[in-house]
Structure 1
Amino acid sequence: MNQVLERCGHRNLTLNSTHAAFNLYVSLGFTKEAVVYQRQGEASLRLPTLPALEGELSELPSDRLEEITRLDSRAFGANRERLLRLLSEDASVWVLKRGSEIVGYSMKREFGNGHVIGPIVAKSDGDALHLAAVHLKDLAGQFVRVDTREETGAFAEFLRESGLGVYETVTTMSKGRHFLNRTNNEPWIYGLASHALG
């Protein structure tokens, strides 16, 4: 780790730490920012009632991925275009539009014994619910995982009622600039690509 940090120089760093590695990262100057809840289970046969949809959901063709890159960068704080292209190769990508503006997106891909839904990027709980539900409705009875920093609130409750209980947690930590900066009416990462990718 000291060799890695030396090569990184004065860059701002962030990671998701397991329980076993937490004290190591603290000793290296990382500070805790949030907990990531690994929610998983068999998706319910019937989803909870959703709020009214504000906008229009549609599937995004793989050759138009650049349409979500700017939104993702605003939410994540860095450009992840290369990662998103890799993740989307075998994924279903849906976007939420209001007018001509994309205000959220979500991905679903095969993972382990089932599927993972993430990233999920949205500006509000209601938008995030619809962006998760558009995938969950086709996965009834199947194993699904969503990694989220939402401990309570509408999104966390929706996942719980959809059959996804908390299985494990990891801790988001940073060294240098604070990584998580939630702002009203700005995109937020409701579902991570995975706890290993952030």
Structure 2
Amino acid sequence: MIQLRTMQLDDVSHGYRLSQQVKWPHRQEDWAQALSLGEGLVAETEKGIVGCAVIWPWEGQHSTLGLVIVDPSCQGQGIGKKLMEGLLEKVPNSNVRLHATEMGKGLYEKYGFRVQRPIFQHQTTQLPVIAARQLSVDEKIRPLCEHELSSLIDNDYQSHGMLRPALWQNLFNSADALLVLEKSGSITGYMVIRKFGRGTVIGPMLAQDEDSAQTLFCHGASQLVGQFLRLDTYGNTPFSNWLVEQGLPCIDAPLIMVKGIPWQRAEQAMQDFSLMSQAMG
């Protein structure tokens, strides 16, 4: 018999164990951070915890759903369906986004999710030398000040519809760096550098244009030569192609799927050039 219950902080070790079984890169610290920002369910049988999933009901009308895992030895028993249904019940009026494998696409379509576009996972185990760009006299890259968080949160929301103040406060306190690109006194981009999985992730990253995103990336990457680096971005774009040229090949391409109304970014809004994670968006 399968029983669902709320995922507690003490269950993080079980989420980590399950993710290790399916060869996901998450550390226990990554699980703890993810659960602290969302709500999770675990599935239990007489064998113990055999599945889990998490949803992030961001402020407003947009949520993300992810970290859906079922013990490989228990697949085919409807556990994934129960976890999905349990989480979707928590956000009945929300537009929900997730990132699906080709294998999982059919299941999610049954719940009303529709494919939007691919996400490309770019990474390298040993980052080649990437030089920081020479900034013009009216440009600088500097740490974000805490009083600027509210503007960042709004720019993040305008880019994809997810209002995430708790996430950004968490990143301000925990990331290795949270930087801004400033041009003529105006901020044209934001970049987070943080530990995740097998090494370092650049993301989330927001920018007014691709040139600003490239400038921020090169600044961060110039300090990470020889290290493991990952960045998740929208696939089949000039920025994604440029990352390949910098030595970060695409190693995976999950699909963004949305249940409800997809967000329409205004033309003047910043773009999200790199995600927090495939689970959280």
Query: Shift in Å at residue 62 of structure 1?
Result: 5.3
Kindly indicate whether the alpha-carbon contact (under 8 Å) linking 1:43 and 1:140 is maintained by their aligned counterparts in 2.
yes
Q: Structure 1: 5+ residue runs without aligned partners?
A: none
2:106 to 23, 26, 33: 23
Aligned positions of 1:24-173 closer than 5 A = 24-41=107-124, 42-47=126-131, 55-61=139-145, 64-91=148-175, 92-153=177-238, 155-173=239-257
- Identical pairs, percent: 29
Checking the alignment, whether the CA contact within 8 Å between 2:243 and 2:249 is kept in structure 1 is yes
Which residues of structure 2 form unaligned runs of 5+? Answer: 1-83
Post-superposition shift, 1:37?
Answer: 0.4
Size of the alignment, in residue pairs? 195
Residues 132-182 of structure 1 show CA distances to partners (whole Å, capped at 9, x for unaligned) of 1121010011110000004231x2233112211111111111111113x34
1:81-114 deviation line (CA, Å, top 9, x unaligned): 1012223333101112233332210100012221
Q: Which has the larger Rg?
A: 2
**Residue 271 of structure 2, aligned match among 164, 188, 191:** 188
- Equivalent-residue separation in structure 2 for 1:160 and 1:184 (angstroms): 26
Deviation of 1:197 after TM superposition, in Å, equals 1.1
- Counterpart of 1:115 in 2: which secondary structure? strand
Amino acid at match of 1:33: Q
Please say if residues 62 and 89 of structure 1, whose CA atoms lie closer than 8 Å, have aligned partners that are also in contact.
no
Calculate the TM-score normalised by the size of structure 2.
0.63
TM superposition shift of 1:17: 1.4
**How big is the alpha-carbon RMSD for the aligned residues of Structure 1 and Structure 2?**
2.2
Rounded to whole Å, the distance in 1 between the matches of 2:190 and 2:235 is 17
- Output one character per residue of 1:117-137: Cα deviation in whole Å (capped at 9) or x when no partner: 000101211011012112101
| CA distance 1:2–1:113, change in 2 (3 Å) | closer
Q: Which portions of structure 1, spanning 4 or more consecutive aligned residues, are displaced by more than 6 angstroms?
A: none
Judge conservation of contact 2:206–2:271 (CA < 8 Å) in 1. Answer: yes
Q: Indicate if the aligned counterparts of 2:155 and 2:269 stay in contact, CA closer than 8 A.
A: no
What CA distance in whole angstroms lies between the structure 1 residues aligned with 2:108 and 2:231? 25
Task: Report the TM-score when normalising by structure 1.
Answer: 0.88
User: Partners of 2:147 and 2:119 in 1: how far apart?
Assistant: 31
Q: 1:45 to 1:98 in 2, by over 3 A?
A: closer
Report the secondary structure of 1:7's partner residue.
Answer: coil
